[in-house]
Chains A and B, each alone.
Chain A
Amino acid sequence: MAERLTKSAARNVFYGGTIFFFVVFVALVAQSHSYIVTKSSNDDKLTADVKAGKLVWEEHSCINCHTIMGEGAYFAPELSNVWVRYGGREDPEGARQALKAWFESQPTGIPGRRQMPQFNLSEEEMDNLIDFLRWTSKVDTQGWPPNKAG
């Protein structure tokens, strides 16, 4: 290490630089926050049902098997686009019924296949959860995932 760099100079570089980068980061995050709320996520469509659906999602910790927007466990399929995969864009009612039928038929018991637990969701919980997944599928995620497989 260069002898010219004194310890107090190194300290000043560290604290000064850290504060600089943190301020830049906070500014970008503040801008992103406003971008999410006003542009990318249909925040105005964040209804009570969607919010309740997110709570169902959290209560059963779906994220510790599935991913959503690519984050979570990698044990079960990506769900940010499950609404699209089930054809929700073309036939919303059909997709809703198909998803409900799927929840109700778990666990499948198929040999050698990963098992999703039976969560015994009420009709309302299923509707809310599906509303949440539909809302999520409409967030502008810069074109991710690359295809329907998620």
Chain B
Amino acid sequence: MQYESQRVALYYFGGALALFVAQVLFGLLAGLVYVAPHFLAETIPFNVLRMIHTNALIVWLLMGFFGAAYYLLPEETENDIHSPKLAIAQFWLFLIGAAAAVIGYLFGIHGGREFLEQPLWIRIAIVVVALMFLYNGTMTLLKGRKTVVANVLMLGLWLAALLFLFALWVPANLSVDKMYWWWIVHLWVEGVWELIMASIMAFMLIRLTGVDREVVEKWLYLIVSLTLFTGILGTGHHYYWIGTPGYWQWVGSIFSVLEVLPFFAMVVFAFYMVWKGGRDHPNKAALLWALGTAVMAFFGAGVWGFMHTLAPVNFYTHGTQITAAHGHLAFYGAYVMLNIAIMTYAMPNLLKRAPYNQVLNMWGFWVTTAAMAFMTFTLTFAGVVQTHLQRVMGMDYMQVQQEIELFYMYRLGAGAVVVIGVLLIVYSLVVPGRRQAAEAPAAE
């Protein structure tokens, strides 16, 4: 940590970790309802459990991105955050908005577009939060050094905020509604969020490996180019069966297969930089997460996405547990792990702890990642059986669900282990290590 104003990131990281725990706890409850369907049925029905699970995820990932941005912008631009006070006010508005939304959900106050269930005034509050950040971040960037890392990060956050404006408009025609809904959902996670991911990765790899910035930044341009060249038209893989024209089956299939490329490039980039750099950075856990996020994003988003993205395959698998499997590993690999990577890198610096609970943190990595992989396998098997019985044989939905109950039991077990892993990660980041005084100071 070189700038005092970087410390505002701690608010965001703290808030993000708290919501992370809430997210996995509600996920565990939802997983339990699959196995014991009467559990909570009268008090918190499944739809509410699920919307809290997904909303908490999205909010904490965004909080992590804001925290990452406030951490890395000063170092990249070589000057303090324009207004740390505004950044703190932005945090509290975001947190209070999220809390109000969740409490509202528990009382049945919500909208009905998936992931955008927030009442209108909360969506407007989110826009205000985004504007506060964009003003603060952009001013910081404008008066300082304009590196590629900082530019790409701010571009990603600007575009994410602009695309969110579609959340304010709910078309009456369901097909039109869906088509523009994907402008937020797809163009976020398979578009501009990857810009945020790649730039944070580049920032960490420069610090962790010591490779020359010129090299890293060329890679960064390559990865974000591949991302948007494939990901924008890759939106077409959501336009197969919603009332849109048939040519999307070609456009979507071709471009979304290519969406694997940026994720593969990210793996090559991360490992090549580590090999080339050869720096022995004391924060081993941060490096583990950085490499881990590249690998797991490649499998979760890349391989598991490819598996069901071709239109003739998707015709049968669309909206089955295959989609759930992909969704879980993609979000975990690309965005959860990325956020934990930057927190693992930044929090010891911000808290002036050297090297902190590294071993415990790495245990958290392996426990959580293994359990997420297992969960993904169980959902994939469930999805394959479901696809065959329901989509090929035409068996009734509820009957099929009974046939695949075993997989849901395994999934629940995996979910319980994920919760344990997440608690290990949070503990390792928040609680100081016992040996901290004896260790050498962390390198920036």
Query: Which A residues fall within an 8 A CB radius of B?
Result: 1, 5, 7, 10-11, 13-14, 17-18, 21-22, 24-25, 28-29, 31-33, 35-37, 40-41, 43, 46, 50-51, 54, 57-65, 67-78, 107, 111-115, 117, 132, 135-136, 139-150
Contact = CB atoms under 8 A, between A and B. Distances in A.
Given A35-B244, A40-B243, A136-B174, A72 B319 contact: yes
Q: Which 3 pairs, one residue from A and one from B, show the smallest C-beta to C-beta distance? A: A58-B112, A70-B319, A64-B47
A63 B392 CA distance: 24
A36 B244 contact: yes
A141 B241 contact: yes
Interface string B312-353: 000110111101100000000000000000000000000000
8 contacts: A14-B221, A17-B228, A18-B225, A28-B236, A31-B245, A37-B176, A135-B174, A145-B391
Contacts of B244: 32, 35-36, 40
Contacts, number: 207
Interface in B281-325: 315-316, 318-321, 323-324
B251 A28 contact: yes
Given A36-B244, A57-B112, A139 B174 contact: yes
A88 to B, nearest CB: 17
Contacts of B315: 143-144, 146
Contacts of B46: 64-65, 73, 75, 114
Interface string B37-64: 1100110011110110000000000000
Contacts of A114: 33, 37, 46, 398, 401
Interface string B1-41: 00000000000000000000000000000000110011001
Contact of B245 (A32, A51, A54, A61): A32
Nearest to A56: B112
A59 B111 CA distance: 5
Nearest to B242: A69
A134 B332 CA distance: 37
B83 to A, nearest CB: 29
B438 interface: no
A40 B175 contact: yes
A54 B174 contact: yes
B280 to A, nearest CB: 24
Interface in B164-192: 170, 172-176, 178-179
Contact of B225 (A13, A51, A135, A150): A13
Q: Which has the most chain A C-beta neighbours within 10 Å: B45, B240, B316?
A: B45
B246 A142 contact: yes
B214 A7 contact: yes
Interface string B103-131: 00000001111100100000000000000
Interface in B183-224: 214-215, 217-219, 221-222, 224
A104 B45 CA distance: 17
A24 B442 CA distance: 48
Given A1-B215, A7-B148, 18 more contacts: A7-B218, A7-B221, A10-B225, A14-B225, A32-B244, A32-B248, A36-B243, A40-B243, A59-B112, A65-B50, A69-B243, A71-B114, A75-B33, A107-B42, A114-B33, A142-B240, A145-B241, A149-B395
B431 to A, nearest CB: 35
B398 A113 contact: yes
Main secondary structure of the interface of B (DSSP, over half): helix
Interface centre among A7, A64, A132, A143 (most CB of B within 10 A): A64
A144 B315 CA distance: 7
A24 B236 CA distance: 12
B151 to A, nearest CB: 9
Given A22-B232, A37-B173, A64-B47, A115 B114 contact: no
B47 A10 contact: no
B173 A43 contact: yes
A13 B221 contact: yes
A139 B111 CA distance: 23
A72 B114 contact: yes
B396 interface: yes
A23 B50 CA distance: 36
A10 B222 contact: yes
B228 A149 contact: no
Nearest to B322: A74
Contacts of A107: 41-42
Given A7-B218, A41-B173, A60-B112, A21 B178 contact: no
Contact of A25 (B175, B232, B243, B398): B232
A115 B111 contact: no
A41 B243 contact: yes
B148 A11 contact: yes
A10 B221 contact: yes
B249 interface: yes
B361 interface: no
Contacts of B261: none
A17 B112 contact: no
A135 B215 CA distance: 55
A75 B34 contact: yes
Contact of A46 (B173, B232, B321): B173
A63 B173 contact: no
Contacts of B215: 1
Contacts of A7: 148, 214, 217-218, 221
